Structure 1
Amino acid sequence: MALTTRRLLTIPSPIIGATAFRAMTACLSRLAALLNARVEGVESTAIRRFDAVGMLVGGLRPLADRVTMIFQRSGIRCVRVAHIPAACERLAVAMPQVVVVLDNIRPDERDALADRATAVGALVLHLDPALDEETRDELIAGAAKVAGERKVLRELVRHGETVDDDEWIVCSDFEDDDEQDDDV
C-alpha cells in the first residue's frame, strides 16, 4: 500500500502562504517515499493456524488414502507419517487431536506413542487393517468427529474459557440410540 501526497497537493491552504505550502508538500512527498521504501522491505508475519489435525501412522497406500479422504471430508487436516518413530517426532509440531495407527506395533512403540500423544492431548486409535470396510470407515469418521470437537475445546481453552469435565465431548456415535434413551 503506497502512501500518497496527491490529496495534500490539491487542497489550498488559506492559513499558510503558497511558499510554505509548497515546502510542506515537498517534505511530505519525501517522507512518503521513505515510508514506502521501508514498507516494501518488510515481510508479512507468518500466522500459525490451529487447524483440526489428525495424524495417520503407517498403513498400505489404499487404506491410508481412504483414511485421508474421510478426514479431509470432515475438514480435518491429515498428517501422514510412515512409522512410529517419525510419528513421535512430529507429534509436538503437528499437535494433532487424533492419531490413527494402521500398522501392528510393538509394545515399546505403543508406549512411546501413547506417552507423546498424551503430552499433546491427542487420542490414539489403533485400527486393525483386517476390519471390514464399513466398520473401519465408521471408526475413522468417529475419529474425525472427535478431532473436530477437541479442536473446538482446545480453542476455547486457548482463549481463556474454562471448560468443565462435563463439557468434554465424547464420541458416542457407536452406541445405539435405544440404549441412550433408556439411560435418560
Structure 2
Amino acid sequence: MARILLLYSTTDGHTRRIAEVMATQWRAAEHEVLVHDVSLPLRSALSSFDAVVLGASVRGGRHQVFASEFVGAHLDELQQMPSAFFSVNLQARTPPKDTAEGNPHVQQFLASTPWRPSLVTVFAGKLDMRRYRWKDRLMAMSAMWATGDRVWPWSVREYTDWAAVRAFAEAITQAEAAT
C-alpha cells in the first residue's frame, strides 16, 4: 500500500475532478491518498508520502502559477521521490498535442523548471463557456474556431478521455511499486 499525495491546480474544477477519479481508483486498490489544492498550504511533509502527483490546468495559455510555485518551493524533495505531472488543457483534444511530447503547454512547463517527474501526461479538459466571463468566452471561441471546432457562448463540451486518466493512475501505482 502506497501513500500518495495528489495535488491539483484548477480554474473551474475539472482538474480537481480528474484528480478525484484517480484518487478513487487508488483508494479502491487500498492506497492511502491525500487530494489537496496546491494553492492552499500543505500541512504534511512531502517525505511522509511515497509519491507525489501534480495536476495543473491551463487558462489563457499558461498553467496556474500555484503549480510552478509549489515545484519551486519543493524541488529538492520532488527530485528525490517518485513523482508525476499531468496537464489539463483544451489543446490536448487534437493530435499531436494530445501527448506530453507534442503539447506546447507541457513542454513550456517542463522547460520552466529543473523538476523531472517520473511520469508526465496531458489530458484534454472541459469547455464550459457558460462559466466564463464574456472576454474569456470570446478568446475561447476564437481559439476553438481557429482549429475548426465550432463553439458558441453557451457551449459545454467535455473532451477528457477517462480511460486515459485511469491508465495514467495505474501507471503511477505500477511505477511506485517498482521502486
Same fold (TM over 0.5): no
Q: TM-score range by the shorter chain?
A: 0.3 to 0.5
TM-score, normalising length: structure 2: 0.42
**Larger Rg: 1 or 2?**
1
> Counting helix residues as a fraction of each chain, which structure ranks higher?
1
TM-score w.r.t. the length of structure 1 is: 0.41
Q: Which has the higher strand share?
A: 2
Q: Which has the higher contact order (CA 8 A, sep 6+)?
A: 2
